[in-house]
Amino acid sequence: MSKSQLESTSFPGEDCKQQMVMDGERDQGSTESNESSPREEIDIAQEILSVIESVARLGDYRRSHKKECYGLVRRMKLLLPFLEEIKDFDGTISDVGIASLSSLKKALVLAKKLLTTCNEGSKIYLVVESEAVMMRFHNVLDKLWKALEAVPFDEFEISDEVKEQVELMKVQLRRAKRRTDTQDIELAMDMMVVLTKKDDRNADRAIIERLAKKLELLSVEDLEIETVAMRNLVKERGNQVTESSQQMIDLLNKFKQIVGMEVTDVLDDPVVPKMLKKSPSLIIPHEFLCPITLEIMTDPVIVASGQTYERESIQKWIGSNHRTCPKTREILAHLSLAPNYALKNLILQWCENNNFELPKKHFPASSDPGTTSEHQEKVSSLVKDLSSSQLEVQRKAVKKIRLLSKENPENRILIANNGGIPPIVQLLSYPDSKILEHAVTALLNLSIDENNKSLITKEGAVPAIIGVLNSGTTEARENSAAALFSLSMLDENKVTIGLSDGIPPLVDLLQNGTVRGKKDAATALFNLSLNNSNKGRAIDAGIVTPLLHLVEDRSLGMVDEALSIFLLLASHPEGRNEIGRLSFIETLVELMKDGTPKNKECATSVLLELGSTNSSFMLAALQFGAYENLVEISKSGTNRAQRKANSLLQLMSKAEHI
C-alpha cells in the first residue's frame, strides 16, 4: 500500500455519520407508502452485497484484532445466500421488510468501517485503544443481531435451509456479544511499562523490541506507513493531540530509534524527496528504487539473497538485529554486502539522459570502511582480553564491552560474532564484584538481540546470572533481574529460569530492593508467571506478601504492576487460596473507590478472576461496599473496567441469591 493511499484512509467518524444520515433520509422517504416495489428492495440487497464483497477484498488484518476481524468477515459472508434469495424475490415488500434491510445495511457499513480501521489503521492505536476497539466490535455485533432479528423471513419467502443458516448466525452473534475479554495480558503489561514516563528501567529496551516484533513494526517501510496512519488518526480527532495520542506518538518514536530511523515530528506533512520536487512528472524505473525506502538508490548493494538495496538502508536493517532479507524474508546466509556496479551504472546513465539529480548522501564517519575495519579489530581485541590472565585487563575489557553493547545493535551482533558471549559468562564466576557487575550488565545489553538470547542460555548463563542476583552489588542484582526478564521472552527460557531456582531471589529483590530493583523484579516475575508451573513456584517463594505491600503503599507507584501479577496468580488454585484473604479483598474495594482509573480497572479484573470460581469472594466484597463502587465504574470507568464491572455485578447478583 502506498503512502498516498494511506493518506486518504480515514477512521470511522464523519463519513460513517453522513452515510447513516443518508440512509435515514431514504428510510423516511420509503415510509410514505405501506409497500415498496421489489426493485427498491433488490437495490438495497445489491448494495449490501457490494459492502460484503468490498470487505472480502480487504485482505489481511492487524495482529492485535485479527481473530475478531476474520470472525466478523466470516459471519458477513454467511449472509450471501440470504441476499441472493432476496435478489431473486419478485413479490411486493412491506415497509417492515425495507426497514429491516436498511438496518442491516447500516450495521454492515459500520462493520466495514471497523474492518477498514483494522486493515489500514495505526497498529499502535489498535493496541493502546484495544478496549475501545473491542467495544466497537461488540456494538457492530449487537446491531447485526438486532437487524437480523427484525427481518420478516416468511414475507421474503426465504428457503428453510437459508433460514436455518441465518438463525445459526444469530446464535453465534449472541454468543460473541457475551464473550469475555481476550486481551493479550503479556501485551497489556508491556504497554503498561513502556507508556509510563516515571522511570527508565533496565528492561525497557527489551520490552520495546518485543512490542515492535508483536506489532510487526520492525522495518523502515512499516514504520513510515505507521507514521502516516498515526497522522491520519490525529487529523480524525480534529488535530487535537490528547494524552493518549501523545503516548502513541512517543511509542512510535521509540520504535523508530530501535530501527535507526531519524525521529521527526509525526504531525508534519510527509517529506517529499528533493529529486521528486525537481521532476514531478518523471517516472523513475521501479528497479532503481530501494525496496525499503522506495527512493532511488545512490549506492546499491547486493545481499546474500540476491536482492539489491540502498547500502544505508540495508545497513540499518541489519544493524537492527535482522538476519533476514526484507523483501523475501529468507534467512541471510551471511551479512556481507556486495556493490551492484552494473545497476549503479544504469542509474547514473538514466539520470544523465533525463537531467535528473541524485540526492546527496551524508554518511556518518562510522560508516567509513576503514573505521569499520578498525572497530572490528578493536572488538576482537577486547574479546581476547576477556580471557587474559591479568585481572585488571579483564576488568577493563568487560567494562568496555558493557559500554559498547549498550550503544547500538551493530555492536551486539559484532561482539557475539567475535565469540564474546562465552568468556563473559565465565566471568560471572569471578569473585571480583566490579567484574560481576560489568559482566551481567553486558549480558543484559547483549540479550536484547533475539539470536543472542539463545546463545547466552546455551552457554549456561542462567544459573550464573541467578548467582549474581543472590549475592551481587545492588546494581548487579538489579541488572541480573533485568537480564532474566530479557531472556525469559523466549518461552523455553521461562522454564529454564524457573527450574534453576531463579524465582526466590527475584521475590527477595521485590521485597527488599530499591524502587528500581522492585520494578525490575516485578517485570521479570510477571513474565515468568505467564508459565503455569512458575506461578506455583512464585507462590511458594512468598510472592504474595511483597505484592500486597506494593498494592497498599501507593507511593511506590507500582499498584498496577502488582495487580497485574495478582491477576495471573488468581488463575492458579494455590494463588487463589493465598490471595483471597479478607484484608486483600478490602484493599481491592478501596482501590475501586479512590484509585486511579487504571487502578480501578486492574482491581476490578482481579476481583472478577477470584469471584468467577468462588462466590464467597463476591459476598466479602459486597460486605466491604463494592456494589456502589462497581456501579460507578460501570458508568464512568475505562472501557475495559466497565465491562469487568458489569460482569462482576452479574456475579454478585447470583451470589446474593445462593
The CA-to-CA distance between both ends of the chain, in Å, stands at 57
Q: Does residue 511 carry a pLDDT above 80?
A: yes
Average pLDDT, the chain: 81
For residues 281 and 352, the model is more confident at: 352
Report which secondary-structure segment, H or E, holds 471.
helix 461-471
Residue length of the chain: 658
User: Crossing angle, helix 80-88 and helix 160-177, to 10 degrees?
Assistant: 140
Cβ atoms of residues 503 and 460 within 8 Å? no
The rounded distance, in Å, linking the Cα atoms of 437 and 366 is 29
Q: Does residue 466 carry a pLDDT above 90?
A: yes
The burial class, CB within 10 Å (0-12 / 13-18 / 19+), for 120 is: buried
The rounded distance, in Å, linking the Cα atoms of 588 and 638 is 17
Beta strands 300-302 and 308-310, pairing class: antiparallel
Cβ atoms of residues 313 and 292 within 8 Å? yes
pLDDT tens per residue, range 411-428: 888 899 999 999 999 999
The rounded distance, in Å, linking the Cα atoms of 525 and 388 is 36
| Closest C-alpha among 511, 517, 514, 520 to residue 488 | 520
The residue type found at 346 is L
| Closest C-alpha among 519, 441, 533, 444 to residue 489 | 444
Cell 502506498: give the residue: 2
User: Crossing angle, helix 185-195 and helix 559-569, to 10 degrees?
Assistant: 170
Tell me, what DSSP letter sits at residue 624?
T
Q: Does residue 230 carry a pLDDT above 60?
A: yes
Tell me, what DSSP letter sits at residue 299?
S
The three grid cell numbers given for residue 439, joined into one nine-digit string: 559482566
Cell 539473497: give the residue: 305
The rounded distance, in Å, linking the Cα atoms of 180 and 226 is 29
pLDDT of amino acid 197:
52
Alpha-carbon distances of 203 from 249, 408, 447, 485, rounded to whole Å? 21, 15, 10, 7
The three grid cell numbers given for residue 11, joined into one nine-digit string: 477512521
Tell me, what DSSP letter sits at residue 556?
G
Cβ atoms of residues 603 and 637 within 8 Å? no
Q: Does residue 368 carry a pLDDT above 90?
A: no
Alpha-carbon distances of 32 from 26, 29, 35, 246, rounded to whole Å? 11, 6, 9, 50
Q: Does residue 157 carry a pLDDT above 80?
A: yes
Q: What would the DSSP string read from start to end of 561-574?
A: HHHHHHHHHTTSHH
pLDDT of amino acid 458:
94
Q: Does residue 459 carry a pLDDT above 90?
A: yes
Q: Does residue 342 carry a pLDDT above 50?
A: yes
Q: How confident is the model at residue 196 (pLDDT cuts 50, 70, 90)?
A: low
| Closest C-alpha among 529, 421, 420 to residue 485 | 529
The rounded distance, in Å, linking the Cα atoms of 643 and 647 is 6
pLDDT tens per residue, range 524-570: 999 999 999 999 999 999 999 999 999 988 888 889 889 999 999 98
The three grid cell numbers given for residue 424, joined into one nine-digit string: 563473559
Q: Does residue 231 carry a pLDDT above 90?
A: no
Question: In sequence order, what are the residues at sequence separation of 6 or more whose Cβ sits closer than 8 angstroms to the Cβ of residue 253?
Answer: 263, 266
Alpha-carbon distances of 385 from 154, 209, 403, rounded to whole Å? 86, 31, 15
Beta strands 300-302 and 338-339, pairing class: antiparallel
pTM: 0.60
Alpha-carbon distances of 377 from 380, 383, 407, rounded to whole Å? 5, 10, 17
Look at residue 348 and give its three-state secondary structure: helix
| Closest C-alpha among 335, 284, 326, 334 to residue 307 | 326
pLDDT tens per residue, range 279-331: 444 677 878 888 877 778 888 999 988 889 988 888 877 876 677 888 777 88
pLDDT tens per residue, range 36-94: 444 555 578 888 888 888 888 887 787 778 888 888 888 888 888 888 888 888 777 88
Q: What would the DSSP string read from start to end of 242-268?
A: -HHHHHHHHHHHHHHHHHTPPP--TTS
pLDDT tens per residue, range 479-508: 999 999 989 988 899 999 999 999 999 999
Q: How confident is the model at residue 126 (pLDDT cuts 50, 70, 90)?
A: confident
What average pLDDT score do residues 107-113 get?
92
pLDDT of amino acid 168:
85
Report which secondary-structure segment, H or E, holds 578.
helix 573-579
pLDDT of amino acid 277:
38
Q: What would the DSSP string read from start to end of 198-214?
A: S---TTHHHHHHHHHHH
Q: Quick count: other Cβ atoms within 10 Å of Cβ 184?
A: 14
pLDDT of amino acid 40:
53
Alpha-carbon distances of 237 from 8, 10, 231, 232, rounded to whole Å? 15, 11, 10, 9
Give the count of alpha carbons within 13 A of 183, CB side only. Answer: 27
Question: In sequence order, what are the residues at sequence separation of 6 or more whose Cβ sits closer than 8 angstroms to the Cβ of residue 435?
Answer: 391, 394, 395, 398, 427
The three grid cell numbers given for residue 335, joined into one nine-digit string: 551479512
pLDDT of amino acid 12:
35
pLDDT tens per residue, range 607-632: 998 888 888 888 888 899 999 999 99
Give strand pairing partners of 93. 36
Cβ atoms of residues 542 and 575 within 8 Å? no
Cβ atoms of residues 175 and 164 within 8 Å? no
Q: Does residue 208 carry a pLDDT above 90?
A: no
pLDDT of amino acid 517:
92
The rounded distance, in Å, linking the Cα atoms of 462 and 199 is 26
pLDDT of amino acid 383:
94
| Closest C-alpha among 378, 394, 374, 395 to residue 386 | 394
Q: Describe the strand order of the beta sheet including 338-339 as a list of residue ranges.
A: 308-310, 300-302, 338-339
Q: Does residue 181 carry a pLDDT above 60?
A: no
Percent of the chain whose predicted confidence (pLDDT) is above 70: 83
What average pLDDT score do residues 188-194 get?
70
Q: What would the DSSP string read from start to end of 74-123?
A: HHHHTTHHHHHHHHH--S-EEHHHHHHHHHHHHHHHHHHHHHHHHHHS-H
Q: Which of 401-410, 413-422, 649-658 has the lowest mean pLDDT?
A: 649-658
Cβ atoms of residues 158 and 84 within 8 Å? no
